[in-house]
Amino acid sequence: MTTAPRASTTDRGRDPDDLLPSGVVSTRGDVPPLGRAARNRTSGIGIMATRRPYVGGNWKMHGELAAAVELTENLVAGIGDTVLKIDISIFPPFPYLQAVGHALGHTAISLGGQDCAAHLEGAHTGQTSPAMIADLGGKVALVGHSERRHELGESDAVVAAKARAALAADLQPVVCVGETLAQREAGNALQVVEKQVRAALEGLSATQVGRVVVAYEPVWAIGTGMTATPDDAQSAHAMIRALLGELYDAQLAGSVRIIYGGSVKAANAAELFAAPDVDGGLIGGASLKVEEFSSICQFASSS
């Protein structure tokens, strides 16, 4: 049996498992490495794989500097050791990235941008490049959030360019997809989501897709208090995983984290995360509440 070194909150980068594609947990030895919540599941499409749960907190355009720092400090304390078992990212507003990064200190909670430009630098007034996010200690970027697709008219092509730019700057893209209520009511939910995923991953290699997290976020569930049923979420996630298998291969499909977003809170997280292809959540409103977000992370770690 291989004895895995105990991971501290600061030395994960030295763990040999970190050489694996993002989301793939080693099956070295007879037991999962210490500190890793191994979710060894057969997905709805019959792929057996182990994925490390992922929870992201999207703060949107809320708060002010002092409150952002205080929230970060309280989250670090509230989440505690759960961060050793799952991947957790927080996405503060851009102006607060650096201060929140400082407040995170040496915790393994990672810092992310709520968006990134499709370019690494240049004449793009008002935009923030993925390289700049990385420069401030960011490790992740949301791309294609529905509030950007719908308020700012971001197309699938723009979302794909942002995912490529994020990867080029060594950021992990969390690619958001999801149907509107009208599209769901017309019976087109899965086709819409499939088209968005295909477009976002266009031209990416298997290695690059191995770094991507896909967030299925039905638009009608975001910030509305309405949540997809675990069965509906599972159907969409299983379709996305099957698509990854078709576009790449079964091993990659089994390793990519597919998380659910849309009014997730402590009260519904456990049942959503219990679905075999739901690997965690992207959390908006509830990520601003320390107890709620910490509980959601806890449910992800024990799902």
Residues that bind ligand PEP (CB under 6 A): 58, 60, 217, 222-223, 261-264, 282-286
Rounded CA separation 45/265 (Å): 27
- Which one of the listed residues 145, 154, 179, 292 is annotated catalytic? 145
Cα 139 to Cα 113, 272, 273, distances in angstroms: 8, 26, 24
CB of 26 to ligand PEP, least distance (A): 30
**Nearest CB to ligand PEP, comparing residues 242 and 282:** 282
CB of 31 to ligand PEP, least distance (A): 34
Beta bridge partners of 112: 140
CB of 286 to ligand PEP, least distance (A): 6
Tokens encoding 303 = 């799902």
Rounded CA separation 68/76 (Å): 12
**Nearest CB to ligand PEP, comparing residues 71 and 222:** 222
CB of 178 to ligand PEP, least distance (A): 9
Task: Read off the amino acid at residue 79.
Answer: I
145 is known as an active-site residue: yes
**Nearest CB to ligand PEP, comparing residues 130 and 284:** 284
Reduced 3-state DSSP string for 112-149? EECCCCCCCCCCCCCCCCHHHHHHCCCCEEEECCHHHH
Task: Read off the amino acid at residue 23.
Answer: G
The residues annotated with a catalytic role in the active site are: 145, 217
